[in-house]
Amino acid sequence: MEKQKRYKRKSFIRWIGILSFGFGVWILYRLTGFQTEKEAKAEFRHEKEVPMGISYFGRYYLIRTENSVRAFSTVCTHAGCRIGLGNGPTLQCGCHGSQFDAETGKPIKGPAIKPLQEIDCVMDTKSRQWVVRFRR
């Protein structure tokens, strides 16, 4: 019969310590918002001809009217869920049913009471592109 390899108590405690330290560093990283700061500096570019109406791009949407192009976050101000298209120019949150006016971002129906976060959207005259910048 073969002898089973036994680990010493010191080795076991050392490995548990290393794993605990790594887990602690990971939690600290998530809580301090390094990734959030990196995402907040994100910049997205779109061609000059943004189609009329609503265009979705994951974290935000663009709304083009005859007079302007505006960008809003797709995060519901009630519970942080993503919003989607409702009826006509209305956006709806799939979690709790809040409805927002797509053109202004203002809530039409609760439980959300705050408007959607507006994001900077400007025309870059050199590249002739719409630039969307998240701000903190």
| pLDDT of 99 strictly over 80 | yes
**What pTM value is reported for the model?**
0.62
What is the pLDDT at residue 20? 92
Q: Which residue has the tokens 């701000």?
A: 135
Judge whether residue 5 has pLDDT over 70: no
Quote the CA–CA distance of 67 and 98 in Å, as a whole number. Answer: 27
Give the alpha-carbon dihedral of 67, 48, 93, 86, to 10 degrees: 70
Q: How confident is the model at residue 83 (pLDDT cuts 50, 70, 90)?
A: confident
